[in-house]
């Protein structure tokens, strides 16, 4: 999961930008400079494939990357302009056994949500595409809650109008907009807490908001190991994404090692195959460093993925396969924005 708050007051700028992006998409200008980027690796990152606006959706909306229709459209775009490769292809190229095709793209998913199995997989199969799913192992086949989904569920169902935050401040709301602001604030606060403290706060939230979470709710959001094995048989590859999804710069290095190795070993045990890839939770610049990259490399991982934005040149990936960029896709992106994110122009954005 990765989540950044949108900047308020940028509406007119955004609509102008969107007009330009739509124009560039319609005219093909969006692929300007493409010829210079044939030797590239474009890694696309998804979390969930679902409709966040459907009735009864009560988990964390920003984690929805695309509706099934939009995902299908995006896969059609990849067919047209990219050569989709597997992790195995990328590793063989890193080892010098083979070349990557021009305009190579790798499709990845984080966390291990059930809709990867029910919604994304049939569309991937239709396109004959491989994909790589990073699993947070303590959440596969268990009822453990990700704090963002716990927050979304509780704020969706509460009838209360205020919440006392762990720092003692009392936050009130009187409409839906304010409620989602407080919810976002709570999630941001959780990110900053040490892992053990975070777990305590997550457990307390339903009580504080007078909400009772049905048993098995979080378990049903995620895949179980049988489904993971079924996908494996169908050509989907898996990587590690820690056991409990802590931000690795916020825990001791010994714990980092335990989270990386623990998740890797668990998937290897369940699938009977070496696990050679890893995705950093949250994946921003502040969420990894050289020492963490070294721990990941020492564990036997061969390629590790961030959420630093944009496609990479092949030279960059070879130089450091432990901080590979990925393009975060949101359900808010139109197909034109999706195309813009995948274009080399995206590397000139400020982040
Ligand atoms: Zn994640």
60 C-alpha to ligand 1 centroid (Å): 12
136 C-alpha to ligand 1 centroid (Å): 7
59 C-alpha to ligand 1 centroid (Å): 15
Give residue 3's pLDDT band: very low, low, confident or very high (50, 70, 90). low
pTM, two decimal places:
0.93
28 C-alpha to ligand 1 centroid (Å): 33
Give residue 8's pLDDT band: very low, low, confident or very high (50, 70, 90). very low
Model pLDDT, residue 9? 44
Model pLDDT, residue 15? 80
97 C-alpha to ligand 1 centroid (Å): 31
217 C-alpha to ligand 1 centroid (Å): 19
Q: Which parts of the chain fold into alpha helices (H)?
A: 11-27, 68-81, 87-94, 114-115, 121-127, 147-157, 176-192, 195-208, 217-221, 225-233, 253-271, 290-298, 314-319, 335-342
Say if residue 31's pLDDT is above 90.
no
CA distance 98 to 291: 30
Give residue 192's pLDDT band: very low, low, confident or very high (50, 70, 90). confident
144 C-alpha to ligand 1 centroid (Å): 14
Instruction: Report angle CA 107, 311, 223 to the nearest 5 degrees.
Output: 25
36 C-alpha to ligand 1 centroid (Å): 32
Mean pLDDT of 163-178: 93
Model pLDDT, residue 6? 47
Tokens representing 187? 């999630």
Model pLDDT, residue 39? 95
Say if residue 4's pLDDT is above 70.
no
Model pLDDT, residue 252? 94
19 C-alpha to ligand 1 centroid (Å): 32
Burial readout 315-334 (b: 16 or more C-beta within 10 A, e: otherwise): ebbeeebbbbbbbbbbbebe
Phi, psi values for residue 214, rounded to 5°? -60, 140
Give residue 12's pLDDT band: very low, low, confident or very high (50, 70, 90). low
241 C-alpha to ligand 1 centroid (Å): 7
SS3 228: helix
pLDDT tens readout for residues 213-245:
999 999 999 999 999 999 999 999 999 999 999
Give residue 16's pLDDT band: very low, low, confident or very high (50, 70, 90). confident
47 C-alpha to ligand 1 centroid (Å): 8
67 C-alpha to ligand 1 centroid (Å): 19
Say if residue 2's pLDDT is above 70.
no
CA distance 45 to 48: 10
**How far is CA 85 from its chain centroid?**
19
Model pLDDT, residue 174? 96
Give residue 21's pLDDT band: very low, low, confident or very high (50, 70, 90). confident
281 C-alpha to ligand 1 centroid (Å): 5
Please give the share of the chain, as a percent, with pLDDT higher than 70.
95
1 C-alpha to ligand 1 centroid (Å): 3
Tokens representing 145? 């809650």
242 C-alpha to ligand 1 centroid (Å): 9
234 C-alpha to ligand 1 centroid (Å): 23
282 C-alpha to ligand 1 centroid (Å): 6
Say if residue 260's pLDDT is above 60.
yes
CA distance 206 to 309: 35
88 C-alpha to ligand 1 centroid (Å): 22
Place of tokens 């690796």: 41
pLDDT tens readout for residues 60-100:
999 999 999 999 999 999 999 999 999 999 999 999 999 99
307 C-alpha to ligand 1 centroid (Å): 10
Q: Mean pLDDT check: name the lowest of 1-15, 178-192, 203-217.
A: 1-15
């Amino acid at each position: 999961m990765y989540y950044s708050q949108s900047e308020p007051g940028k509406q007119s700028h955004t609509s102008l930008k969107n007009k330009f992006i739509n124009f560039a998409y319609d005219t093909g200008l969006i692929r300007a400079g493409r010829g210079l980027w044939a030797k590239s690796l474009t890694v696309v990152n998804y979390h969930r494939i679902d409709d966040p606006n459907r009735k009864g959706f009560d988990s964390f909306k920003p984690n929805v990357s695309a509706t099934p229709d939009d995902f299908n459209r995006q896969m059609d775009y990849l067919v047209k302009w990219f050569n989709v490769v597997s992790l195995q292809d990328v590793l063989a190229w890193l080892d010098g056994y083979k070349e990557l095709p021009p305009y190579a793209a790798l499709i990845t998913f984080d966390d291990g949500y059930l809709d990867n199995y029910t919604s994304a997989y049939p569309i991937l199969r239709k396109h004959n595409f491989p994909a790589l799913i990073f699993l947070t192992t303590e959440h596969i086949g268990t009822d453990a809650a990700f704090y963002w989904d716990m927050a979304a569920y509780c704020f969706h169902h509460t009838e209360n109008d205020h919440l006392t935050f762990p720092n003692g401040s009392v936050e009130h709301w009187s409409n839906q907009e304010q409620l989602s602001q407080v919810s976002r604030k709570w999630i941001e606060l959780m990110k900053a807490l040490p892992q053990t403290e975070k777990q305590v706060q997550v457990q307390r939230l339903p009580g504080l908001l007078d909400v009772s979470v049905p048993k098995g709710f979080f378990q049903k959001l995620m895949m179980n190991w049988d489904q993971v094995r079924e996908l494996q048989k169908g050509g989907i590859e898996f990587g590690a994404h820690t056991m409990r999804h802590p931000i690795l710069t916020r825990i001791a290095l010994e714990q980092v090692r335990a989270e990386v190795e623990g998740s890797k070993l668990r998937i290897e045990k369940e699938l009977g195959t070496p696990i050679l890839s890893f995705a950093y939770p949250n994946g921003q610049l502040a969420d990894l460093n050289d020492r963490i990259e070294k721990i990941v490399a020492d564990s036997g991982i061969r390629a590790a993925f961030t959420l630093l934005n944009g496609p990479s040149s092949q030279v960059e990936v070879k130089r450091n396969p432990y901080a590979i960029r990925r393009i975060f896709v949101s359900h808010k992106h139109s197909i034109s924005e999706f195309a813009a994110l995948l274009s080399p122009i995206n590397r000139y954005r400020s982040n």
